[in-house]
Structure formats: structure tokens, C-alpha cells
Structure 1
């Protein structure tokens, strides 16, 4: 481009006429006619000088020299244009006409206006690095502008305008392509960051900063560029850890990369891949440990492992099927344990425990044969066991004939069992001793005042007596005494063979 900067055309300065004060108007009115005559004469003399004397004084070479000086600075101000026009007007008699001069001046102005726009746009594109990315169009535009300068110096303003306009069009096309070029360069920069190419990313960032210095994305891109070495190192560590089979370390390294640059797509993808591999590994380990625990009948541990596997892959069929196996195996083990425990309870003559165990099994499966048969065997023995145990415990109640008969029937039922075990035999022996004890009468002396009517409850009425001895079986008795005019009395006493058994019954409290 030419070093002469195009200057905008300046307006012709307008000088206002001086203002005359009101007080001076009256003093000057008398001289008006005389002044008009003098001014008219001076004007006529000046016109004669301009049209007849001055053309003879100015040579054609001087006019051409003045025009050349003007074209050497196409951005001349309005004063220069006026001087050129005046010079041309001085030779209109023998040179170009004022109309031609006016046309040329208009063409020059048009060229200057286009040149000014061209210079502004070229400066903008130069700041945006167009010399680097705009080739060959940028150089072609500069060459067209240089051709325009040459035409301008030759006063071929039409050609200069054409060349300037062509250059302006080319630079405008480059300016129009800026958004697309910026986006393309942004994509190249992102690709370099994703590829981990630090030099290429830095170069693209510098180019983008030059091409679009106000792009708001530069802030985030600079942060990503700073974090890029850390991202690259973390991803390399993740790959090494994965190769060694240490997926936990690999996932942590990939997580470090994503924390350093959350927008790094490759780091996020790598983290997702490693997490998926880690999840598959954890799933396999959980299923393997679960089946190992199931084989050793550690059902709670197996269930925990299978549920962990199900949490890793919700809806996966394998953990659900394994949990069903755990339930079935646990149930089977429970039933087998109940069967074994029930049989053991029968062997040990713990009949109530056996019944409870078999009933637990029937709650799980009401059709279990071993539980049904076991309960049928154990329930009568459990009931007999309870009745046999009550005989020694209620020895003193055996004085009641009804209770004695029930105890005797219970003993007979127990003695009828052929395969009696040691516990049953001990119960039979204890019942026999208790019944023998309760069946042996002991002499008891009843003393009174001969006036009290005595009744021995559940035995017989004794009537009035002073002293009477009668045989009674060991146990607890109640004697009731009654006498007219006296309050009734009740005397409870216990008959035992190892003590002196004497009871006094008499009514002594009057009513």
C-alpha cells in the first residue's frame, strides 16, 4: 500500500461577516453611495486583470506541476482542492473546461472515499493476522491497491477507483469469512487439546487469540490449555494402571484428568470406559464370592454379595437368579436342620421341643412328610410328659380322689410304652413313688370341745367330738367347725408321715 494516508475531505471554512452596531448605522448612511461607486470600480479593474493579464502570466507547465503535486497526496484537504480548482480555472481559456475539472474532482473524491474504507479494513485485517491466513487473496488485494495508487498518481481516477474497489471487495470477502475461519480454528484447537498435542494446541490458541481477541471462549480455552499437561499425564497413568489390572487406580487417575479439565471429552470417555470395566470386574468378583459363600452354606454372605452385584447392574438376570438359589438353599438347609434337631429332640425325649421344631418346618412347607409324622409322634409324648411331671409337683393334691385317679391313669399310660427312654423311666419312677406316698394312710388326731360340729372337707363329716384318731392319706386338708351362737371356724392342716399329725377344731368366738 502507498505510504500516503488518505485524509478525509474537510469542509470549506465559512467566515461570517462582522456585525455592525446600531449606533454606527446612522453615521455611515451618508457615505453609502460613495462606497458603492468605489467598490464597483475596484471590481471592474479586478475582472480585467483576471481575464486579460493573468492568463498571460501563468504557463501551461505551471498548471501541470500544480496538478501533479495534488495527485501525489490523494487525501489532500479541501483547501488543496480549492487551490487546484482555482489554478485550473485560471487556464480555462486554453486548457480543460471547468466542467471537466469538476468531473475529475468528483472522481478523485470517490477514489479517496473508497481508499479510506480500504485502508480501515486493511488495518483491521492486518491486526487479525490476515497476512497469515488470508493468502493469496490478501496479497492480491494489496497488489490491486498498489495498482490503484499508480493509477491515482497518473490522475486516472476511474482506474484507481476500480482497483481500490476490487481490493476492497477482496478484503471484505476475507472479513466476511472471519466467523467461519474462527469456528474452524476453534475446532482445530479443540481437536489438538483432545489429542493431547500441546504445541499444536498452543499454536492454534495463539492464532485464535489474534484472529478473535474478543472471543469469550478464549478464557476457558486458556484454562484448558494450562491444564492439558496434567490431563495427559493422568490419562497415561490410567492406561498404565489398566494394563496392570489395577482398575481402581486407573479410575482414580482418569478422575484426576476430568477434574483438571471437565470439558475434555476424551478424558470423560476414558473415565466412563474404565468405570464400566471396574463395574464389570466388581460384578464378577461379587458373583464369584457369592457362589463361594453359597457352596459353604454362608447364606447371609452370599446374599450380600449377590445384592451388591445386582446394585452394580440393576435388572441383570444373574444376581436375581442367584438370590433365588440362595433362598432355596437357605430354606433347604433350614428344613434339614429342623429335621435333624427334631429327631435329636425325640432321642433326648424333649418332646415339646420336637413338636415346636416340626411345627416350624410345617410353617415353611405344610406338606413336609417328616414334619407331619414327627409332630404326630411327639405331640402325645409331650402331653404325657407334662402330665407325668405334674404328679410329683402336685403331690399334696392327690388327697382329692379325682386327681388321684387321673394320676393313676397317667402312670398306667406311661408304663404301657414299650420303648421308654431314660427320661420316661425316671418320670414313671417318680410318679410311682408319689402315688405310693399319697396312697399310704397316716393316723391323724382330731381334738375338739365336744360341742363343735366338725366336717373334714372332701373326706367326711365327723360331728361333735372331744378327740378322735382317723387314718388320712398325706396331703392338705381343711376342717370346718360349726356351733350355734358361735362364729364358724376353718382349720387347714397338712398330713405327712414324718411328723406328729394332731389338729384342734373348736368354735370359741360368740356371735
Structure 2
């Protein structure tokens, strides 16, 4: 059998079988023509033949029959020639497809699939050797079709090999994983995942061993040590799922443990009303897990406890201030309590009382600090009214009682005259407002109620003199006022 090489052109491949058929047909015509001519030249009428001639004729016929058999055995029928041509064409198509597959290294990355293709080729070769041309053509066509399908599915095969390699890496089978990724590189040189896979395959067994050690430590509740092993595994292969999930799990456990410890410290401090320690513990818990609902709830609980404690302290101070009749301070404390909690019982309960006592205390202190204002009849009447009101207060307390006594005594003294001594030059006319014109004198004594008086001196040709005379309330010393007009105009 003569086969055309893979690089022969399609026109040569298609013309070769036709040329072979034409040559065989020409040979067949020549041989048949020669035999026919030989037969006609020796053919004689049967009646003219002698016995010897008949014998010769029979011998010739026998020779012709043997030649016909020989020719039949040498020249194949036209149908067989056509079938053989078809088989050869199928073989040529396969050889072209095989050359394409080898250029793409198909035997490396599609070894299993390529085995099926070679099985079909082996059958085709056997059929062709046994001259079973239709079966050979079918086998070669099948091989060509199978290989074409394998080449078309190259990308799918690459993805399958990548998945296979990843699975082998997770199992710690570095050698097998490297083989899978190497096959990918044969199909797709420079594939990034395959290149990474080859590098990861070199440490696959080490990574799996670290993960196993970490898992054992995890079961023993050695969280910190387990985390260290998982970190080493991730550092070697950041894509290893078991190492990644293990690190996440151990981090979660450590976080939860730290959170529980911090929350335990928090509630212990809160129960002992150690709010400073509670704040520190809560800050530690918030650092461990900022978004934790438990931490947020604890923060609200601490705020409520601190608020309650602050209100309690303010209420204690309020009670102390009320007991000491420090009504201004008590009023300020009530405002602080109500700003923290508008419904605070003790503040609401005593608010009106504290305001009334504060105003009464302020008015009494103002009168007692400026007693001479009672010289005015209106001011004196207001003082009398205020004293009467103060005397209606139940449980007045030492401060208010003292204020009442002081005011009552002051009002009595304000109605007692005090001796006042005036000195002049006997040349100036002296006038004391609210008293009258005293005329000229050198010395004069007056009996005046406590208060402030205006004294004016007038003299012809001299500038007027105006002075204030303050008459104290039962002062032991005698007030003396000198008034003279001494400045000429």
C-alpha cells in the first residue's frame, strides 16, 4: 500500500486514486484486446478441422482459460479499487488531524481521551491490512472525528485539570497535583492558575501536615498555638481552603473567649458599682468585637447604672443641702437631677418647697444686710409682711429661725431713736431733710431714728455744703457730724 505523506496537497491526494483506476483500466483493455485478437486469428470452422486440428484448438482454449484466471487474479475489480481509495483518503485525513494534535501536545494533556482515538486507529490499520476497506475507512473517520472533538474541547479539559489539581492540593497530594497542572501548561502555556498550582504543589504536603497539627491543637483548646499553625499554612498556601477556614474558626473562638473574659470583668465591676473598671472592661470588649450587640447592650446598661448612681449622689447632696437650709445650692441640685431624669422622685417632690424657701431666704438676707432701708415706710411694711410669712413656715430650721429673730429685733431697733451730735460755725443755716431747718448753732444734739439723712449748710457769699448722716441701729458710739460753709463764692 502506498500512502501519501501528511503534507501532500488535497489535489494530489484526490488525483492519485483516480489515476490508479485509469491505469488499471487501460491495462485491462489492452490485455483483453490482445486475447481477443489471438482468439480470432486461430478460430476455424469446426467441420474443416482435422482431429489434430481439434486437439490444437482445445489446447489453445485451455491456455486462454488459464490466462483469463491469471488476469482475474492480478487485476482487482473496479469496486474494490474505489473502496480502497476511500479508505486511503480517510487515512490521509487522519494523518493530517494527528499532525495537528501533536503540534498541540494532545497526547500530554488528553492522555485518556487520546487512548480511545488510538484504539480506533489501531482497528483501522488492522482492517486495512486485511483489505477490509469500508471498515478501515470507518475506523479512520472515527479516529479523526474523536481527535477533532478532543481538540475543540481543550478549554474544557484545561478547566477540568485545574479543578483536579486543586482537589489534589487540598488532599496534600503534591506530586499528583503538579502532574495535573503540568498537563494544563502543556495545553495552555503560561496559564496563571497552573503556574501557581505548580508552586503550591511543592509545599502541599507541608501545608496539610500543618493543618492537621493545628486541628489537633484546636481540639485540645490550645487556641493560640493552633492559630500559629494555621497562619504558617496560610503563609505557604494562601488558597488552601482548610487552612483559611481553620484560621477563621480559631480567630472566632479566640475573639469569643476574649469577649467573654472582658464581659465577665465588666459585669463584676458593674455589680460592685466600680464604674471606672467597668468602663475599661467594656472598652476592651468593644475592641475585641466592636459591632457586638452584647457589647452595645452592656454600654447602655453601664450608662443607665452611671446615671442612676449620679442621680443618687445628687439626691444625697440635695437632702444635705435642705437639712442645712442651703436653699440656693438645693435649687441648683434639683435642676441637675431633673436634667438627668425629669421624673426623678425626690427632685419633683421638693422642687416647689425649695424654690419658696430659696426666695424667702434671699429676701430676708437682703433686708438684714441693708437694715437702713427699713427707714422707708414702704420697705418697713414689706419687711413686716415678710416676717409674718416666715413665721408661718413649719419646721423652719435654725437658719430661718435665726433670720426671723434678727428681722424682728431689727424692726424694733428701727423704731428706737438714736442721739446724734451736730457741729457748725454759728454762721451757716443748717437744714436736715426729713427733720427740718435747725438754723445757726455751734453744737446741737438730735434724737433720730436709724437711717440716712441729708444735711445741708447755707451761707451768703459761700458755696452750699451737702453731707450724708447715717444713724446706726443702736450703735454704742455717738454719731458726730460737722458741717460749715467755708468756701467763698
Q: TM-score range by the shorter chain?
A: 0.5 to 0.7
Cα distance change on mapping 1:383 and 1:215 into 2, 3 Å: closer
Deviation track 1:423-463 (CA, whole Å, cap 9, x = no partner) reads 6677678778977987672422142564545233xx42234
Tell me if structure 2 keeps the 8 A contact 1:450–1:464.
Answer: no
Q: Does 1:116 align with 2:127?
A: no
Tell me if structure 2 keeps the 8 A contact 1:446–1:504.
Answer: yes
1:447 is aligned to: 424
* Deviation, structure 1 residue 366: 5.7
* SS of alignment partner, residue 349 of structure 1: coil
Q: Does 1:503 align with 2:482?
A: yes
Q: Does 1:333 align with 2:332?
A: no
Q: Does 1:168 align with 2:140?
A: no
* Deviation, structure 1 residue 235: 4.2
* Deviation, structure 1 residue 503: 2.3
* SS of alignment partner, residue 128 of structure 1: helix
Cα distance change on mapping 1:99 and 1:202 into 2, 3 Å: closer
Tell me if structure 2 keeps the 8 A contact 1:444–1:472.
Answer: no
Match of 1:93 among 30, 53, 61: 30
Measured in 1, the distance between the counterparts of 2:402 and 2:281 equals 51
State how 1:299-448 maps to structure 2 within 5 Å.
299=275, 302=278, 312=289, 316=293, 325-326=301-302, 328-362=304-338, 370-375=346-351, 378-390=354-366, 393-395=369-371, 397=373, 400=376, 441-447=418-424
2:116 is aligned to: 137
Measured in 2, the distance between the counterparts of 1:302 and 1:492 equals 67
Measured in 2, the distance between the counterparts of 1:10 and 1:321 equals 85
Q: Does 1:465 align with 2:440?
A: yes
2:107 is aligned to: 128
Tell me if structure 2 keeps the 8 A contact 1:118–1:167.
Answer: no
Tell me if structure 2 keeps the 8 A contact 1:454–1:462.
Answer: yes
1:208 is aligned to: 184
Deviation track 1:48-100 (CA, whole Å, cap 9, x = no partner) reads xxxxxxxxxxxxxxxxxxxxxxxxxxx9x98xx99999899689633678996
TM-score (norm 2): 0.65
* Deviation, structure 1 residue 232: 4.3
Measured in 1, the distance between the counterparts of 2:356 and 2:299 equals 40
TM-score (norm 1): 0.63
Which range is displaced more, 307-316 or 174-183?
Answer: 307-316
Deviation track 1:188-236 (CA, whole Å, cap 9, x = no partner) reads 2121223343333223223333455464532343454456567546645
Tell me if structure 2 keeps the 8 A contact 1:283–1:312.
Answer: yes
- Aligned residues: CA RMSD: 5.4
Tell me if structure 2 keeps the 8 A contact 1:338–1:357.
Answer: yes
Match of 2:467 among 488, 491, 494: 491
1:185 is aligned to: 161
Measured in 2, the distance between the counterparts of 1:385 and 1:148 equals 130
Measured in 1, the distance between the counterparts of 2:486 and 2:378 equals 31
Measured in 1, the distance between the counterparts of 2:302 and 2:10 equals 101
Count of residues in Structure 1 that have an aligned counterpart in Structure 2: 440
Tell me if structure 2 keeps the 8 A contact 1:482–1:507.
Answer: no
Measured in 2, the distance between the counterparts of 1:490 and 1:285 equals 85
Measured in 2, the distance between the counterparts of 1:260 and 1:400 equals 100
Measured in 2, the distance between the counterparts of 1:300 and 1:147 equals 95
Deviation track 1:254-313 (CA, whole Å, cap 9, x = no partner) reads 566556655444344334434443454455345433432331224576578669669948
Deviation track 1:309-350 (CA, whole Å, cap 9, x = no partner) reads 69948684x566655654554444344333322222233332
Instruction: Give the unaligned 5+ runs of structure 1.
Output: 14-74
Cα distance change on mapping 1:484 and 1:331 into 2, 3 Å: same
Cα distance change on mapping 1:145 and 1:384 into 2, 3 Å: same
Instruction: Give the unaligned 5+ runs of structure 2.
Output: 32-70
1:65 is aligned to: none
